[in-house]
Each structure stands twice: as structure tokens, then as C-alpha cells.
Homo-oligomer: A and B are copies of this chain.
Amino acid sequence: MSNVELDDELLDPEVDPPHLFPKEIPHNEKLLSLKYESLDYDNSENQLFLEEERRINHTPVAAGSGIPQIKCFLNGVKIPHVVRLKTLVIKVSGVILSVVGGLAVGKEGPMIHSGSVIAAGISQGRSTSLKRDFKIFEYFRRDTEKRDFVSAGAAAGVSAAFGAPVGGVLFSLEEGASFWNQFLTWRIFFASMVSTFTLNFVLSIYHGNVWDLSSPGLINFGRFDSEKMAYTIHEIPVFIAMGVVGGILGAVFNALNYWLTMFRIRYIHRPCLQVIEAMLVAAVTATVAFVLIYSSRDCQPLQGNSMSYPLQLFCADGEYNSMAAAFFNTPEKSVVSLFHDPPGSYNPMTLGLFTLVYFFLACWTYGLTVSAGVFIPSLLIGAAWGRLFGISLSYLTGAAIWADPGKYALMGAAAQLGGIVRMTLSLTVIMMEATSNVTYGFPIMLVLMTAKIVGDVFIEGLYDMHIQLQSVPFLHWEAPVTSHSLTAREVMSTPVTCLRRREKVGVIVDVLSSMASNHNGFPVVEHTDDTQPARLQGLILRSQLIVLLKHKVFVERSHMGLAQRRLRLKDFRDAYPRFPPIQSIHVSQDERECTMDLSEFMNPSPYTVPQEASLPRVFKLFRALGLRHLVVVDNRNQVVGLVTRKDLARYRLGKGGLEELSLAQT
């Protein structure tokens, strides 16, 4: 195998391999132990124990909305099992149960996650859960390609959920993608398009209108008739005010959820406790909803088919309970009803109570170990207070014609969601596409931007907050602003375990087995006499060494004229992404004395930085190229250290200047 044949990406994959962040990240309980007990990983029994425990604790990665996990995956952090078939199955059944069970959750986040899993699966042409390999798409068996598929899957998920193909692409770019280029956009766009079309077609058949393609998305917020409902310049300040309210409420939501998550990490980390908490939330949700509906006296006349199952309760015949309309429908239906029901359908008291209660319920529910999205609950909270806002405005201005409560419900929904997740561009387009209305694009944009600016003053967005809480080495777009004074020398890991061009098999096995050097990339240095300092020659990955060991590519064996099959690129691809651990490879005592020639397989020109390079410069290189290892050299090209993702992700701008974070250990 020549160097030319070896692909650059393969040599220098941009995503961490599975074993770099073994199994802790999605487990809150593991994080706890990692953070507060500082597990000693030199103890391999301990590691096996963790392995064991993980197996009991089935696919916890299926909990939550999945968006933070996908975001991390696309940033280059591999979260185990995040794109497994098993996760998909659990996620899908989980979200069906949580939505049906009446929790304050949505199904959009899980749909996005599901889209990603399906994309990842298709791209690999095999399923490890099913133990089937279809022998197709082998070209895609590497991290960069898989990542692009996952981006496209996420976009397809949004696209299907909201009938928003362009919104899906933008979601994937704004919220997901950490790397971006034109071809990627193209592919994502194509995936979104196919997704929308397929869903539309299937739903149209389901609804009995086979040919008319009238069902663009699963969730349709109903068409806003822009002819009737325009906006005037007087309303601009009102929209900005709503954005401010949305930003503040979003920040409150995030802050409460932050404390709650901290509490959960600390105290609710046993599966049984998690189940009990979920049951408790479900019970409280049902009870509170029932009490509110029961005690509500907000009766409204039935108006045709605005609801499928109106609840009469204590209302007169021909009337329905409007609190039940908000609580007993699926959240999506409630949102539509808040957007489109004619003025007067809701009592302000009902809306106020509903907002208050649903706000806390949604906040409590998010972060529970159930599959659950936060999109729709946020929209519902926002729609409720937005409508209330509209009604109040209408009272204040003497029922002016422009103060339509539906319009304010829409703006409130945008403001609340924007305040929680802090998306702007993609959310604008999603709302435009989901309401089939372009006219409100500008006010929605304004509201979302205000909500983001106001919210950012207080606390990060919900997804970023959860990523930070999970201590994932997530690399943001830019290095912290005050980090100019740090240089590569200060951030790098040192000393580095280097290998020589021709290295003894025994040394390699020892290095790979050693828990102290659990790096995934090893600089290869020049094999000269010991008086000269060793110069950097290349970089070789743990996974490559393992494949080489497995195939016993030793110099002696080729010298001895043994018919040795030449190692091909395919051997590396087939092993992807689960390279066997070093323990599973048997190396005899004789073989330990053999040598391996790494020069054929190593990456001969790894990216390097001089040790004086500033942190922002190192960060930029790392981030722009999606690196995993960056070799730090002195001015004689001798290896002095290695910068890994975690060396960089550690630094963050806190309140007291630059802070060092404790990240999940490996």
C-alpha cells in the first residue's frame, strides 16, 4: 500500500474515534463519578466494571431531545451509541410513549436525532446491532463522510417534522454543522428535499388525497392568511418588547433547567431513581392538568371543527372547556388552536394559568431520562403568553383591529423558542415554512433576534448549556478572546509517547496497552543514533497500529518470504468504526521481538505548530481543519508536545476571565 493510495482523511480523521471518549458522556451518573470521584483509569478492572454497568443501563443516549448529542457528534466528539440502530428504536418508541403519555414534550428533537441515525446507518451500508453488512457504500466508512451524512439526516428530520426543507438545511448549518462547505450544503439540501417529498407523498396517501401533495409536514401550524393579517410599523416596538420578554423567560427557563440538571447529576443517577422521577413527573403533569381543567370555568361555544374532541365537562351543551383544549390536545394541536382560533376563544385567566403551569412542567420535563423534545413545549408556552399579550393589547387599545391574538401568539411562540434555544436564521425560515407565510418573516426575525440578544446576556442557549454540563470537549467557533497570552507550550500535553520509524512490536504493544499513554495518535520520529535529537517524521493512529498488529505486518515476516497479503485501504475501512481493543490481539513472545516499519502507513506530513504559537492560532488551525492531534515542535522540528481537543476545550471565558474547565477524563 503506497502513501498515495492512503487517503488524507483516513490518516487524519477529524472525529475522535470511539475509544477516546469511551462511555461516560451521555451518562449523567458517570459524569458525576468522573467529576467528583476522579476515577483512576489506570485500574483496568474499574474500567471493566464501568463497561458492565453500561450494559445494564440500556441506551441512555436515547434520552432527551438528542440535539445536543448530534451537535457534539458533528463538532467531532464521538458520543458512543449516538447513531446506533438500537438508539433509534428506543428513541422512537420512547418518544411515542412520552407524547402519548401526555408529558409536556415534543417529538421534533427526537425526529431530528432519528434522521441522523438513519442517515448514519445508510451511509455505512451495515448495522452492527443487526450484525449485517450489505457491502455497499464502503467508501463512506470514515468519519468525515459519516459526519456529512449525519448533518443531512438532521436536516431531513427537521424537514419532515415541520415541512421545512430550507429550514432543515439552515438548522443543520446553524445549529449542527461545525464544518461547512458548499458541497455539504448541496447534499444536505438534496436530502431535505427528498425527505419533504416522501413525507408529503405518504401523508397525502394517508389522508386520502393521493395526488395533491397537500401535507408538507407532520406539524402544520396552519396557514396565516397574510392578506387579512398584515402588520404595521406601530407594531414593531411591540414585537421587540415580545422578543425581550421571550429572551427573559427563555433565560429563566434555562437557568431553572440548569439547576435542575445539576441536581439530577448529583442525586438522581441511579436508573431506579430516574424511572421514579419520570413517573413522578408524569403523575404530577396529569394531576395538575386535570385539576386545572376541572377547576376551570372557561366555557366557549363550539365552533365547528376547530377541535376534534372537545371536552364539555361542566359547560353547557354546545360549549367546551377551553382549558381542556389547551391541555388535552397534543401540544402541536394546542399550538395551532392558539394561533388560529378566533379572538375570544380563550379567557385571559385560562391562558395565564396555563402558561405558568406549562412553563414549569416543561422545564421539569426537559432533561428527564425520557425521549423528549423541547421545541413544541416552548412554542406552546410562547403561544399561550403571546395570545394573552395580544388580548391585553386589544383591551388596552380599545379592540383595535390589528391586535389579532393569533398573530401575537405566533410572535410569542417564536420569542419563547428563540429565548430558549437561541436560533435565529433557521428558526425564522422554519416558522415561515411551517406557517406557509412569508409576510411575517420580518417580524419573526426581529423577535428571534431580540430574544437571542436578551437571552445571551443572562445564560447560554439550552443546547449549549447541556453540552457544557456534560463536560464534553466541545470546540466553539472561536478561541476565548482573552487567550492571546497562552501559547502552545502552555496548553499542550507533554511528554509525548513517540514511536520510531522502525519500532519493535513489543514496544508498540506496550505503548498501546499502557493506560498512561491513552492517546490516539503517536508522533513517529526519526530513527537515528541517540546523540542526535529525534525529528518528527510522521504521525500514526492507534487504530492503524491495531490493524497493522492484527494483520501482523512485520518486517521479518516479509523478509522470510511468507506469502503475506498486502494490506489495503479496505482493511482499515472494514475495521471502522470499532477497532478491536489491544487486549484482544494476541502477540506471542517471538513476535514481540519483530519490528514494524511504520513509514509506509504513517501520515508523513502531520500538521504542526511551533511552541510559541498563541492559543487562538492553535485553536484556529484545530478548528478550521477539524484536527484531532496537533504536534508541537521546536524550531529544530523536534517533538515537544501534542495538543489534543481537550487541551483546547478546557479554556473558556468565564466571569473572572479565562477559566480552566474540568472535562470528562479518558
Contact = CB atoms under 8 A, between A and B. Distances in A.
B616 A605 contact: no
B213 A535 contact: no
A51 B221 CA distance: 62
Contact of A625 (B4, B212, B439, B620): B620
A486 B213 CA distance: 51
A528 to B, nearest CB: 11
A243 interface: no
A1 to B, nearest CB: 14
A612 to B, nearest CB: 5
A545 interface: no
Contacts of A170: 170
B477 A535 contact: no
Q: How many copies does the complex hold?
A: 2
Nearest to A185: B425
B183 A477 contact: yes
B617 A8 contact: yes
Contact of A232 (B213, B604, B605): B213
A234 to B, nearest CB: 6
A169 B637 contact: no
Contact of A166 (B4, B428, B436, B613): B428
A607 B635 contact: no
A455 interface: no
Contacts of A181: 477-478
B165 A445 contact: yes
Interface in A460-508: 477-478, 484-485, 488
Contact of A536 (B185, B446, B614, B635): B635
A455 to B, nearest CB: 14
A182 interface: yes
Contact of A605 (B201, B204, B612): B612
A420 interface: no
Given A442-B197, A535-B636, A609-B605, A616 B8 contact: yes
A85 to B, nearest CB: 30
A193 B233 contact: no
A512 interface: no
A46 interface: no
Nearest to A233: B211
Interface string A423-450: 0110011001100111101100110010
A165 B197 CA distance: 26
Contact of A441 (B165, B428, B635): B165
A186 interface: yes
A171 interface: no
A446 B605 CA distance: 43
B478 A183 contact: yes
Contacts of A604: 610, 612-613
A437 to B, nearest CB: 7
A478 B144 CA distance: 14
Contacts of A201: 233
A625 B635 contact: no
A460 to B, nearest CB: 13
Contacts of A536: 635
Interface string A591-625: 00000000000001101111011101100110011
Highest count of chain B CB atoms <10 Å: which of A166, A181, A429, A604: A166
Interface in A152-173: 165-166, 169-170, 173
A166 B636 contact: no
B617 A605 contact: yes
Interface string A563-606: 00000000000000000000000000000000000000000110
A621 B214 CA distance: 47
A21 interface: no
Contacts of A609: 605
Contacts of A610: 604-605, 608
A182 B452 CA distance: 14
Contacts of A213: 230-233, 442
Contact of A635 (B165, B210, B535): B535
Nearest to A624: B624
A174 interface: yes
A633 interface: yes
Interface string A183-197: 101100110010011
Nearest to A607: B621
Contacts of A210: 233
Interface in A104-134: none
A644 interface: no
A309 interface: no
B433 A438 contact: yes
Contact of A633 (B226, B617, B637): B637
Nearest to A488: B605
Nearest to A618: B605
A216 B437 CA distance: 14
Given A174-B185, A625-B625, A637-B637, 17 more contacts: A8-B616, A165-B445, A166-B429, A166-B432, A182-B477, A183-B477, A189-B425, A193-B446, A200-B442, A201-B233, A210-B233, A213-B442, A605-B612, A607-B621, A608-B610, A620-B625, A635-B637
18 contacts: A166-B428, A166-B441, A174-B185, A186-B424, A186-B425, A189-B445, A190-B449, A193-B442, A196-B442, A212-B230, A213-B231, A429-B429, A436-B438, A526-B635, A535-B635, A535-B636, A604-B613, A621-B625
Ranked nearest first, the 3 interchain pairs of A and B with the lowest CB-CB distance are A605-B613, A624-B624, A637-B637
Interface of A: 4, 8, 165-166, 169-170, 173-174, 180-183, 185-186, 189-190, 193, 196-197, 200-201, 204, 210-214, 216, 226, 230-234, 424-425, 428-429, 432-433, 436-439, 441-442, 445-446, 449, 477-478, 484-485, 488, 526, 535-537, 604-605, 607-610, 612-614, 616-617, 620-621, 624-625, 633, 635-637
